[in-house]
Amino acid sequence: MSLSDTTDILPPALQGQPIERVERDGVEYVVLGTAHVSRSSVEAVEALLAHEPFDAVAVELCDSRAQGMRDPEAFKQMDLFQVIRQGKAGMVAASLVLSTFQKRLADQYGIEPGAEMKAAMTGAELRHVPLWLIDREVGTTLRRAWHSVGFWQRFGLMGGLMASVFEREAIDEKEIEKLKQGDMLESAFSEFATESAPLYRSLIAERDAFMAARLREQASRADAGGSLRKVLVVIGAGHLKGLCELLRTQQDNPAGKVAELAQMPPKARWPKWLAVGLVLAVFVAIGFAFHRNTALGAQALRDWVLFTGGFAALGAIIAGGHPLSILAAFIAAPIKPFRPGIPSGGISAMVEAWVRRPRVADFETLRDDIVHWSGWWKNRVARTLLNFFLVCLGTIVGEYSAGIHIFKNLL
């Protein structure tokens, strides 16, 4: 049902806007599909709030993204050591890379992506109505997307993310049109999201189901007194069709559905067993080499140290690491099999952060610095994250190279 079916006079800002109305369990949901880089979407949100009374406002945001909009400076309080210890360095780096895409849009088109969500939040606050954050946590979505694709596709995702950092050309009109009809996360992974059904499911379809369940869950909690009649739902246009369909037909227990889709995906075991199997095979080969000849065994052990430590140290060098963090990478990589827990990249990154402790200015300029590729080396926070990623990558390359070299010598 369109807006024109229920109102006599449409404000100019609402004419032609994608708006659907869904009745469910005695509640009317007015769902506005927005473009994340469009001033007209901001105007549509403001006009709809002024045109009709609502008992609640729901937005396509999670707690962390909403907090980022409310307090853009909050990330300056980030404890870099804790991020590395808890294994969140890769996720933080990916989030920062995605923010460069948004920053380029803001610089090019003069509007911050998500401004329409901020307008909805502000409108709810001014009208003293509840604000519902209905989207799944972005970290969970990224993790589920990562685990949904195969081993080789992950390299493609990483390559696409890194390429977006070094891309200096203006974002073309085709990408802007995708954003007007789609979703920010889908657009950032546009090539892969369209070609990979599992990735599309994680980025779009699962979130449609999550948001539909969240709306039903929030409505059931808020309507204890029977006062909830109409809710404004502000979402990206790419979610409009899927969300409305699920809101009409979804029969799952809403709380159970939310809990199911909010779970972190179980880690695939085969990569871990493959890595363990490789290392065991290499050390069996080294032991066999010692059994055949002490000199041959010493050579195999030397190759293990030089290849794993060398490639890890090379990663730290490329990241512009301090000599001590380069040394830490060289030492940590060969003993990785005997030291479960923090990866070699984590040890090197913590040394980097300790020796070149990030300054307040590094946190203040982080989002601006990483828009330019050189900023990843200039900014101490970004360089520490880059060190983590490249040392981990170097360690993996070193392990496989060492294994191949050792087996080759034995044969």
List, for residues 351-408, the tens digit of each pLDDT value. Answer: 998 998 887 677 777 767 776 778 888 888 889 988 998 998 899 899 889 888 888 8
Write down the pLDDT at residue 225.
56
Write down the pLDDT at residue 2.
44
Q: Which helix (H) or strand (E) holds 44?
A: helix 39-51
Query: Would residue 114 be called left, alpha or beta, if left means φ above 0 and alpha means ψ between -120 and 50 degrees?
Result: left
Which among 174, 212, 170 is positioned nearest to 194, based on CA atoms? 174
Enumerate residues 6+ apart whose C-beta is below 8 A from 337.
Answer: 279, 283
How would residue 327 be classed by pLDDT, with cut points 50, 70 and 90? very high
List, for residues 103-150, the tens digit of each pLDDT value. Answer: 666 666 666 767 889 999 999 999 999 999 999 988 888 888 777 776
Write down the pLDDT at residue 4.
42
Write down the pLDDT at residue 1.
43
Going 81 to 82 to 87 to 92, the CA torsion angle's sign is negative
230-249 burial code (b ≥16 CB/10 A, e <16) = ebbbbbbbbbbebbbebbee
Enumerate residues 6+ apart whose C-beta is below 8 A from 14.
Answer: 3, 44, 47, 48, 51
Q: Which helix (H) or strand (E) holds 23?
A: strand 19-24
* Axis crossing angle, helix 115-127 with helix 39-51, rounded to the nearest 10: 20
Are 113 and 183 in contact, with CB atoms under 8 Å apart? no
* Domain extent listing, the chain: 3-262, 270-410
List, for residues 35-75, the tens digit of each pLDDT value. Answer: 766 788 888 999 999 989 999 999 999 888 888 777 766 66
